[in-house]
Structures are given as structure tokens and as C-alpha cells.
Structure 1
């Protein structure tokens, strides 16, 4: 947040002519406020407290005086003084007075002569509310934190940091409607440092609000905005798969591959989509393509092996349930499956090579050798598993 540190002094010129006598308290308040601002700019705001108190005493009289109670400058100074008092003393009463002063000044300032100083008052008050929100957050009072951040936005509209913090506070309070509203406001702010997180988290918020249709809509937007991001792409795939949109996801990925044929992640996602659609042969083909682009792509190696093994397991289960097979036919078919599952071995070995302490990968590799009835390899792998599980 970019908050101006000082009042715009060019607007502190004393009024002249017929109104001079009636504006003495306004002038006193401005003079004292200017002294406070000088000390504040020098990092010594506490030393200027007496000046700020003097400004308040004078400006309270001015806004109550018959001749100056409708003076936009008087109300602008009133807003500035009280906003600074709120910030300096951490007082809600002064903050309320400052907000009232800003509202009144805007109503009276028809020619916008005080617009810059009114904006400064709003910035100071916005910073006060932001600080209140941070204090509430630290106490884990997320409802109050959201209220304070939201109030700050009233004075600092469009501030991306405030909008983001407001959304985060709403999430912590499980106030998904307000969280969604704040996050949606950040969609156009592509330069915001947390923009990607906002785009990826927005569909999750819609899911929490039980709005699957909107979750899918914004998941697609996130994937489009960040086409190379793993979380965005996987989320888009998973959400579409939840509602049975396998064909749509496959088509979307294939269209993207046509534009970026050497993107290993796209083939990985295509494999996930085909697996969900029970197109195991196409899934394996896609995973293999990802591995051909990057032989050390651990997830693609893992999924290629898992898809091959799961296919063999399904066929083995079918054989075990088929009571019509003779022992000879059964053994012949099992031997064929043992040959077929060998296709998974290089991918399993690569996963273990890349992640030597991955117990799940070791267990999968042991399961392979168990099926092949290779007792020596199975025993060797079990020893490694036992060592890591101690």
C-alpha cells in the first residue's frame, strides 16, 4: 500500500478577505498539523503529539462554528487530524471521526480543491484499518480481521494487497462468499505477486461453497492463464473428471499439445485424463511420451508403471475368477502376463533411482519381483524397505 506520509502543504494557505476572522481556528489547526507532519516525516510522530492535540482542539471548534461548519477545508483538516490521531493513539473513536470528516468534506468540496488532502486522510485511515486487521489476524480473530481489511478498502479502493488479505481473512473465517468476491476482484490484476495463487485457489473456494459449476469455470481460467503450471492444469483436469468431462479435458490437452508439442507436462496430464476415461493403452502411450521428453520425469515414470501393472492385475484377477480354465491354460496365460508386466520394470527402476528412499516405490518394485517369483530380488528389496521403515 502506498500511503502518503504528509499533508499536501500547498493547500495549507490561509484564507483571506472577509472570511479571515472566521477561519482563525482552521488556520491554527493547519499550522499545528503541519508541525506534526514535519515531525512525522522525520520519523518522530510521537514528538508531534502535542501539535496534533492542539490541531484537534482548534479544528473541533472550527467545524462547530457557524461560519466554518460548512467549510470543506475545515472538514478536510478535521479528517486529517483525526486520521492521524487514530493512527498515533490506536483509537477507534478518532477513526470514526476521521471517516465522518472524509464523508463531510467530500460532500462540501464541490470544486475539488481539497481532493488531494481528502485522499491523504483516506490513506492514513486506510492504513489504520489495515493495522487493525493485522492485529486481529495475529489474535486469530479472522472475522474482525476481515471487517478491518474491508473497511480499509473503502479508503484504499483497488489496493491489491488489502484485497488479498481480505480474501484470506474471509477464508480463515469460512466466509466463502466474501472470499470469492475478493479473489474475483484480483483476476484482472495480473501483475499482483500472488495472482497465480488467487487463480488456482478460487476454484477451491467455489468447491467449498458447493458450487461445482463455477469451480470448473474458474479452474479453466486458471489453466488458461498459467498453462505451464502443474497445480492449475491438474486441478482443471481433476474437476472436469469429477463431473465426467473426460472427453473435454482430453480434447483441451490435445489442442494445447498441438501448440506445444515438447511440453512433457501436457503428455503427463493427457495420461491422467485417459486413465480416468479407462483408456489405459492411450494413457501408457502418453506417459511414455512424457518420459521420452524427460527420462527423469518421476511422476510420468511412476504413472506409466502403475498403469501397466494395474492393467496386468485386472487381467490376473479375471483369470483367477474364471473357473472354466484348465491348469494348463491358466499357467499359459499367467506366463503371458509375466511377460507383459516386464514393460513396467524400467519405469519402476527409474522411480527408485530418482527416489531411492521412496518406500512406496520400493514396495511396487518388490511386488513386481514377487509376481515374477524372483525370491532373491524380492528379499533384497524387502531389506531396503525394512531399513527405511525403522
Structure 2
């Protein structure tokens, strides 16, 4: 964030020539301020403090003088002097005086002759507020930091760095509405170095504010703006899965897998999406690929087992409802289902291995052995359930 220097003193002096004849104090203030600016430009602002103090003393007299107190030139210099005092001495009182000076000068400057110097005063005041915000941030006073950064934006509107810092401060303060407001201002600023981070984080802010619909909307925008970014793509997928839009993102997940084929989470998400679309075989295949990448991926093992078991359960329910089957046919088909469900066992056992006291996993494992009519194993697992409880 660069603040423009007060480079128009030749114009400022020329605009005030009639006033010079009326008041030596305004002339003194301008001369002292210009000397301070010269030293500041040379990197010696500390050496120029006496000039700045002299400018302050003179301009205070000028704003009280009947002949100069309604002159925009007087208030412009007053704003510049106090803005520099605030920045140099870190004094909020001078910052308030500078802000008052800017307001007064702006109101009096009907023909805009002092507009550029008024703008410079505002830029210096913006830098002061920015520095105040940084100091508050370092103390982890994020509420004050947000206020200071926002105040700086009053004088430096559209500054992307300031806007971003204000948003970050609001996030740290868990002030999600203001964080969202600041981040949304940055959406059009595609050249901003942190633009991608803003786009990816904005949906998270909406989630924190419990606005899932907007989170999904802006997640889609992020994925569209950065189609090759894994974080943006995965976030869009995850949010749609959360709200039940599984079928909608099957192709998105497959496209992302084509770019990142070793991402176990993507195969897990694909399994969820395919299962929701009633494509159980494809879901099981996806979960298996996730487990192949990470054998200890508990959720993928759990879902693989559950999908297999649920498929067998549905077939068993259909058999139980089919009154046309003979006992022989029924028993034959049940035996086939007992073989089919064996595919789930290694995944169930892995879940229990990873989570020995997981009562849901233990009950599922007991149910498996009950179906296989393995009384000894069923009793063993029941004992583990009892111990876990």
C-alpha cells in the first residue's frame, strides 16, 4: 500500500498568494510544512519534527484568525499538518484534527483548487490508520484492528491490501458479516495477489455465518474462477455433498480425479455421490480405490462395508417377501448372499481395528456374524460391545 506524497506545494502556495498578504501565520505554516516534507522525502522525518511543530503552531493561529478561518487554503494546510503529526508522532488527537480539517477544507473548496492536497492529507491519514490497525493486530486486538483498517479505507478507498487486512481482522474477531462484506469487495480485483485465497475462503465464511445457500453459490464461483485449483474444486464438491446435491457433482468429482488420481478423498466423495444416485456397484468401486490409496482410511472402509451390507440386506428383504419361492430355492439364494456379504468383512474388520471401541462398527460386525450363523464369533463381538459400553 503506497501513500502519495504531498507533491503539489507549488500549487498550494500559488493558490494562497492573496491570503499571504492577509496572514503571516498561514505563510509560516506553509513554509515550515514544506521544509518538513523535504526532510521526510529525504528519509529524515525525525529531523523535520521541529518544522512540523512550527507549522502546527502557526496554522492553529491561522484557523482562529477572522481573515483566514473560512479559507479552504487554511484548512487544507491544517489537515496536512495534523495528518503528518498523527503519522509522525502516532497521536490519535492529531488524526482527529486532520479529519476535521479535511471535512472543513472539502466543504470550503468550492472550485476544487485544493482537491489534490486534500487527497494527500487523506492518504497520510489513511496510512496512520493502517499503522494503528497493524499495531492492534500485533496485540491480537482484532476488533480495534478491523476498525482502524476500515477507517483507513475511508481515505484510501478501493485499496485491495487494506480491504483484505480488514477482512482478515474481522475473521479473527469472528465478525463474519463484516468479513464477508470486505471479501466480496475483492471479487472483481482479479489482479490482487490474494484473490484466489479470497474466493476459496469466502464460502467458508458463509458457512461460519450459517448461510449454506450462499456458501454453495460462492463455492461454485470460486471453482469457475479457478478451474485448475484443487482447493476450489474440492470445496465445491464437499459443499454440494453436504446439502445433498450428490448427483450434481458426480462429473465434477470425476473431472477432478482425472487431474489428481491419487487423492483418496476424491474417491471417497465419488463413492458418496454414486451411492446417493443408487449406483451401488460404482460406489463400492470408488470406496475400494480410496482404501487402496490409504488402507487405514476409516471412513472409506466403513462406507465400503456399509454399501455392500446394505445391498445384501435389500436382496434378503426381497427374498423374504417373495412367497413364491420354495424352501430349497430360498435357502440356496440365502447361501449365495452369505458368500456375497463376505466381501464386506475385511472392511468391517479394518474399521474395528482402527476404532476398537466404536460401538456402531462392533454392532455391524456382530450383525455380519449373526447372518453367517457363526455363534462363537457373534458372542465374542458381543462381549467386546459390552466391554465398550
TM-score of the two chains, using structure 1 as the length reference: 0.74
1:245 partner SS: coil
Question: Take 1:27 and 1:284, find their aligned partners in 2: how far apart are those partners?
Answer: 84
Which runs of 5 or more structure 2 residues have no equivalent in the other structure? Answer: 321-326, 355-367, 369-389
Residue 201 of structure 2 is matched in structure 1 by: 201
Question: What does residue 125 of structure 2 align with?
Answer: 125
Equivalent-residue separation in structure 1 for 2:339 and 2:93 (angstroms)? 84
How far, CA to CA, are the matches of 1:195 and 1:129 in structure 2?
Answer: 23
Contact 1:241 1:276 in 2 (8 A): no
- The aligned runs of 1:173-252 (5 Å cut-off) are 173-250=173-250
TM (norm. structure 2) is: 0.74
Distance 1:71 1:16, change over 3 A: closer
- Distance in 2 between residues matched to 1:15 and 1:230, nearest whole Å: 58
Further displaced range: 82-91 or 272-281 = 272-281
Residue 45 in 1 paired to residue 45 in 2? yes
Structure 1 Cα separation of the partners of residues 156 and 18 of structure 2: 37
Q: Give the conservation status (yes or no) of the 8 Å contact 1:123–1:156.
A: yes
Q: For 1:1-390, what aligned pairs fall within 5 Å after superposition?
A: 1-14=1-14, 18-250=18-250, 264=261, 268=267, 270-283=270-283, 308-314=304-310, 333-338=337-342
Change in CA separation of 1:212 and 1:88 when aligned onto 2, cut-off 3 Å: same
Report the Cα distance in structure 2 between the residues aligned to 1:272 and 1:65, rounded to whole angstroms: 78
Q: Secondary structure at the match of 1:50?
A: helix
In the TM superposition, what is the alpha-carbon distance from 1:249 to its structure 2 partner?
Answer: 2.7
Runs of 4+ aligned residues of structure 1 deviating over 6 Å after TM superposition are 260-263, 296-299, 301-306, 316-331, 341-344
Q: Does structure 1 retain, via aligned residues, the 8 Å contact 2:130–2:149?
A: yes
User: Which piece of structure 1 moves more, 114-123 or 180-189?
Assistant: 114-123
User: How many residues get paired?
Assistant: 348
1:256-314: CA deviations, max 9, x gaps?
78xx97675897565553245453333456689x99xxxx9779x99987765553454
Moved more, 83-92 or 275-284: 275-284
Q: Is the 8 A contact 1:83 1:125 kept in 2?
A: yes
Contact 1:15 1:23 in 2 (8 A): no
Are residues 286 and 8 of structure 1, via their aligned partners in 2, closer, same or farther at CA, if it must alter by over 3 Å? farther
Q: Deviations for 1:321-340, whole angstroms, at most 9, x for unmatched residues? A: 999999987665444455x5
Task: Please list the CA deviations of residues 226-248 of structure 1 after superposition, one character each: whole Å capped at 9, or x if unmatched.
Answer: 22222222222222222222233
Secondary structure of the residue that 1:20 maps to in structure 2? helix
Farther off after superposition, 46-55 or 27-36: 27-36
RMSD across aligned positions (CA):
4.1
How far is 1:25 from its partner? 1.8
**1:253 Cα deviation from its structure 2 partner:** 5.8
Shift in alpha-carbon separation, 1:275–1:336, aligned structure 2, 3 A: closer
1:319–1:330 CA contact under 8 A, matched in 2: no
In 1: Cα distance, 2:99 partner to 2:16 partner = 28
For 2:147 and 2:11, the matched residues in 1 are separated by 33
CA contact 2:32–2:54 (8 Å) conserved in 1: yes
- Contact 1:287–1:303, Cα closer than 8 Å, also in 2: no
Alpha-carbon spacing, 1:50–1:303, altered in 2? closer, same or farther (3 Å): same
CA deviation digits over 1:66-100, x for unaligned, max 9? 22212222211111110110011111100000111
Asked whether the equivalents of residues 133 and 148 of structure 1 are also in contact (C-alpha less than 8 Å), the reply is yes
In the superposition, relative to structure 1, how do residues 79 and 17 fare at CA in structure 2: closer, same or farther (>3 Å)? Answer: closer
CA drift at 1:319: 9.8
| Cα distance in 1, alignment partners of residues 149 and 72 from structure 2 | 28
Counterpart Cα distance in 2 of 1:217 and 1:330: 48
